[in-house]
Chain A
Amino acid sequence: MRKKHFGKVFAAAILALLMVVVTACGSGNNEGSSSSTNNGSSPSASPSTPEESPSAPLEKIKIKGIGHASWFKSGMDEVLIAAAEKTGIELEIEKIPEGMDGVNLVKARFATGDKPDLLFYYAGLGDTQGFGKMSDTFVSQEDQPWITNFDKESWKGIMTALEDGKYYGAPYGGSNTSVVLYNKKVFESLGLQVPTTMDEFWSVSEALKKGGKIPVYLSGKDAWTLQLPVQHAQATPSTAEILAKIDVNQAKFTDWTARNTGLQFLKDVTSKGLTNKDVLSDTYDNAQKALATGEAGMYIMATWVMTDIASKFPDQTADIGAFIMPYQGADADKSYIFAPNAVFVVKGKNEEAAQKFVNFFESLEAQNIFFGKDGGIPAIKGVTVTSLTPAELEAKAFLDACRASGDGFSMKYDINAAFPAYLQDIIIGGKTPEQVLEAQQKDYEKAAKAKDDSNFK
């Protein structure tokens, strides 16, 4: 009798425990929204707090950030030291792999609730890109003091969230642009001129090959780097038009001719044998060395690589120049402009300290420290110290001459996680450019249907 009674009590206890577990896990999902009342406009978020009372001892606060390893160079190292001294905030940065490996990792972290205090990520995030609703996840930067020193209008649509048009990310680093970086000494020694049409480009490449140089270096082991030739081809106003149509299911990826041009280039340059021998084993690091030492003639990349080259090969930095890939020729081509990356304050128990760090980072003092060491064109107004290399200055001249386009080209759904693998597929002959575009269309439809998008029913 007693045994029977015990069995019932025991079963009831287990059931109750399971219910507690289920309820506890369920309520965890609401954590983000409940903390959303404490938004970025909290008074303690002001950067001036520590400076206002210099005699008061600074409270030491440790916060955590996460971002691609290559984004943190000597400029940021010095800013971290200054921030600890001036604000008492010690930021510990977790450096994650480049490209989609890092993106996958950070999205998986957010999906499982393992969030940092600061997210260093690409600007212009939206609600449908894997981080949840922007206003639930991140602190809005609209009312923060640093934003008065920032040209909000210029970066609207590029660095703002698609859904509410607000700035959730503060600029991290400078803006960059895609170019063909070339070794001027190699070009001079072989008597070559910068190509202005695709015919000239192929001729120059053949001449480089004949001269014992690698014409076009592709660092396919770091698959994200393969995106650059394609993005460069997309730097045309037609891209914005086609993307707007793809978003509402009135056009397909296969209609995106500019992307097709870039994909076709990757296929052609590989099949013509105008690249390094081991494209899929060679890395971003290998490419920098090959370009700087003159082993390679050209490398299609964004200007951010020049910071690395300048630190590793200071004596060769001036040998490198930049030109725009002549996909269309006749000066019709543009370089693809990349907005500054962004730093997002994640809502949570450390959001005040994280915001304080961001406000310090965006101050002129910190920006001058940062750009005194690292490259890129500052987005914060009034930065007086920069360290642009000759190649970056040449690239900047294209921007000044309005020969740049891009990065306003955001799409409603982020399907780029699979893109680098597709580009590797083109290199190994596993997919044609058309098949890649078809695969991307499928990915996009799947993403849209998952969000119950009425245009994709």
Chain B
Amino acid sequence: MIKKMYYSYWLLLPGLLIFSVFFIYPNLTGFLYAFTNMDESFKYTRFVGFDNFKSLFQEDDQVIAFKNTFIFAIITTVFKIVLGLLLALLANAKLRTTLFFRSMLFFPVLLSTLAVSLVFSALLHPSRGLLNVFLETLHLDMLAQSWLTDPQIVIFSVSFVEIWKWTGLSMILFLAALQTIPQELKESAMVEGVNSWQMFRHITIPLIMPIVNTNVILSVIGGLKVFDIVYALTGGGPGNSSQVINTIVFKNFAAGRNGEATAANVMLFLIVLVIVLLVNKVLNRKVEG
């Protein structure tokens, strides 16, 4: 009889300690602080019930942040998935420029968000920006907009920059999935007289569905938790037109309203949790189906 040898549980201890200090403890206290009026001095901290949560939904500027977060998450997820898949199909084709094409499409992912934001701030300047100058050169002046300063369109402009920066990552994940599809399967389908659309619909999509699931989940989480690109491009402005939940967290924290900031963070956590569980359930059903 072979005796099974196990490593001692004590080996878990260093990792668990670090995890407890930097994750479990801050998270648990975060839930607690959300129900207090804690400020930066910790001096006046007392229990305030759900006041912080109520306050988040009583002020227009903070309500806008929730609305913008959902708009941003939906738009960026849809475009990153659709464009990522299309680009992956293109990058999977056997062309002489395939390698160059893949590198070029992935390149924005490697750039720093701050650098991307600075470049796009210049490109999207209403009168000196390359985009509007180009449109005006083509006599398409009516399409030229105040991309980052018009409160009606600013969140869409920021979403566009996010899509430009991160579609390459979706593409690479899809590309990896596409390359796992057995060639024999495609060949036998072709022998059966299957056309390109049928091949895509009935062979490619079902086989890459687990990666679609992963990509959607990652994009939704990224979209809901967005901070850097918004803060660097617009700072949540003009006014409060492009505030998202995380910029509100930062704003409240900086104003010394730590309780309210933590409440917004808890709300974000719950929103991400619920949406990701729902999306995961729906997509898993499709994968299993």
Within 8 A of A (CB), among B143-158: 146, 148-151
Contact with A along B217-248 (1 / 0, CB 8 A): 00000000000000000011111110000000
B151 partner residues in chain A, CB cutoff 8 A:
428, 430
Q: Are B25 and A107 in contact (CB under 8 A)?
A: no
Known A6-B9, A278-B126: A450·B37 in contact at CB below 8 Å: yes
- Complex alpha-carbon distance, A451 and B257, angstroms: 10
B239 partner residues in chain A, CB cutoff 8 A:
421-422, 424-425, 427-428, 430-431
Out of A21, A131, A428, A450, name the residue touching B257 (CB < 8 Å).
A450
Q: Pick the interface stretch among A9-17, A80-88, A323-331.
A: A9-17
Known A278-B149, A430-B241, A452-B44: A417·B125 in contact at CB below 8 Å: no
Q: Tell me whether B273 is interfacial, beta carbon within 8 Å.
A: no
Q: Are B126 and A277 in contact (CB under 8 A)?
A: yes
Q: Tell me whether A72 is interfacial, beta carbon within 8 Å.
A: no
Q: Are B256 and A447 in contact (CB under 8 A)?
A: yes
Q: Tell me whether B197 is interfacial, beta carbon within 8 Å.
A: no
Count of A residues near B, CB < 8 Å? 50
Q: Are B149 and A446 in contact (CB under 8 A)?
A: no
**In this complex, what residue of B is CB-closest to A109?**
B254
- Complex alpha-carbon distance, A220 and B251, angstroms: 19
Q: Are A25 and B255 in contact (CB under 8 A)?
A: no
Q: Tell me whether A18 is interfacial, beta carbon within 8 Å.
A: yes
- Complex alpha-carbon distance, A133 and B20, angstroms: 31
Q: Tell me whether A132 is interfacial, beta carbon within 8 Å.
A: yes
- Complex alpha-carbon distance, A428 and B259, angstroms: 31
Q: Tell me whether B162 is interfacial, beta carbon within 8 Å.
A: no
Contact with B along A267-282 (1 / 0, CB 8 A): 0000000000111110
Chain B interface residue bracket vs A: 35 or more
**In this complex, what residue of B is CB-closest to A429?**
B151
- Complex alpha-carbon distance, A278 and B25, angstroms: 47
Contact with B along A356-375 (1 / 0, CB 8 A): 00000000000000000000
**In this complex, what residue of A is CB-closest to B37?**
A450
Q: Is the interface of B mostly helix, strand, loop or mixed?
A: loop
- Complex alpha-carbon distance, A425 and B125, angstroms: 19
Within 8 A of B (CB), among A121-136: 127, 130-133
**In this complex, what residue of A is CB-closest to B231?**
A101
Q: Are B255 and A418 in contact (CB under 8 A)?
A: yes
**In this complex, what residue of A is CB-closest to B150?**
A428
B148 partner residues in chain A, CB cutoff 8 A:
280-281
Known A421-B236, A428-B239: A18·B9 in contact at CB below 8 Å: no
- Complex alpha-carbon distance, A10 and B9, angstroms: 8
Q: Are B25 and A22 in contact (CB under 8 A)?
A: yes
Q: Are A280 and B40 in contact (CB under 8 A)?
A: no
A103 partner residues in chain B, CB cutoff 8 A:
254
Q: Are A108 and B253 in contact (CB under 8 A)?
A: yes
Q: Are A104 and B236 in contact (CB under 8 A)?
A: no
- Complex alpha-carbon distance, A18 and B20, angstroms: 7
- Complex alpha-carbon distance, A29 and B38, angstroms: 14
- Complex alpha-carbon distance, A279 and B126, angstroms: 10
Q: Tell me whether B13 is interfacial, beta carbon within 8 Å.
A: yes
Q: Tell me whether A223 is interfacial, beta carbon within 8 Å.
A: yes
A220 partner residues in chain B, CB cutoff 8 A:
238
- Complex alpha-carbon distance, A103 and B13, angstroms: 40
- Complex alpha-carbon distance, A18 and B22, angstroms: 11
A447 partner residues in chain B, CB cutoff 8 A:
255-257
Within 8 A of B (CB), among A1-58: 6, 10, 13-14, 17-18, 21-22, 25, 29
Q: Tell me whether B100 is interfacial, beta carbon within 8 Å.
A: no
B41 partner residues in chain A, CB cutoff 8 A:
127, 132-133
Q: Are A281 and B149 in contact (CB under 8 A)?
A: yes
B40 partner residues in chain A, CB cutoff 8 A:
107, 110-111, 130-132
Contact with A along B15-49 (1 / 0, CB 8 A): 01100110011000000000001011111101000
B61 partner residues in chain A, CB cutoff 8 A:
421, 439
- Complex alpha-carbon distance, A431 and B61, angstroms: 11
Q: Tell me whether A381 is interfacial, beta carbon within 8 Å.
A: no
Q: Are A107 and B127 in contact (CB under 8 A)?
A: no
A418 partner residues in chain B, CB cutoff 8 A:
251, 255
A280 partner residues in chain B, CB cutoff 8 A:
146, 148-149, 237-238
- Complex alpha-carbon distance, A155 and B15, angstroms: 55
Within 8 A of B (CB), among A202-223: 220, 223
Q: Tell me whether B59 is interfacial, beta carbon within 8 Å.
A: yes
Would you give the shortest CB distance from B192 to chain A, in whole angstroms? 58
Q: Are A17 and B241 in contact (CB under 8 A)?
A: no
Q: Are A417 and B254 in contact (CB under 8 A)?
A: yes
* Interchain Cβ contacts under 8 Å between A and B, 16 examples: A17-B16, A18-B25, A21-B21, A25-B25, A107-B40, A133-B41, A220-B238, A223-B235, A277-B127, A278-B146, A281-B125, A281-B148, A415-B255, A418-B251, A428-B150, A439-B59
Residues of B within 8 A of A (CB): 9-10, 13, 16-17, 20-21, 24-25, 37, 39-44, 46, 55, 59, 61, 125-127, 146, 148-151, 235-241, 250-251, 253-259
Known interface pairs A111-B256, A131-B40, A281-B148; 5 further A-B residue pairs with C-beta atoms within 8 A, sorted by A's residue number: A29-B42, A133-B41, A223-B235, A280-B146, A428-B149
